[in-house]
Amino acid sequence: MALTFQALYDKVPNGIKDKFLIKKRDRAIEIVKQKIELENKKITEIDYDTLEGLIEKEESKLSNEQLKTILITVLTAEGLVHLIEM
């Protein structure tokens, strides 16, 4: 039986959760950068608060499957793949 994102996340040590949250934010930032580029704008043209709001919006739009993939990537990099199979 495959683990759900939440079941897997609940097993992960706090230090790994922190790394996961950083990767999740990085992914949201990548998405925002792509959208800004598609609008032929530069990041420097957008004020900090607007940019922060866009990033938070993209973070909340990441699906459970995307989050699970990010978390599995972090676990693999940390050598904690055994948590996936528990």
Identify the DSSP state of 78: T
Provide the pLDDT confidence category of residue 1 given band limits of 50, 70 and 90. low
pLDDT tens across 12-22, in order?
Answer: 889 989 999 99
If one counts the domains in the chain, the total is: 1
Q: Rounded to an integer, what distance in angstroms lies between the CA atom of residue 83 and that of residue 86? A: 5
| CA-CA-CA-CA dihedral for 31, 49, 15, 12, to nearest 10 | -60
pLDDT tens across 51-75, in order?
Answer: 999 999 999 999 888 998 898 888 8
Q: Kindly tell me if the per-residue pLDDT of 3 is higher than 80.
A: no
Whole-model pTM over 0.75: yes
Q: Rounded to an integer, what distance in angstroms lies between the CA atom of residue 8 and that of residue 83? A: 8
Domain residues for 20? 5-83
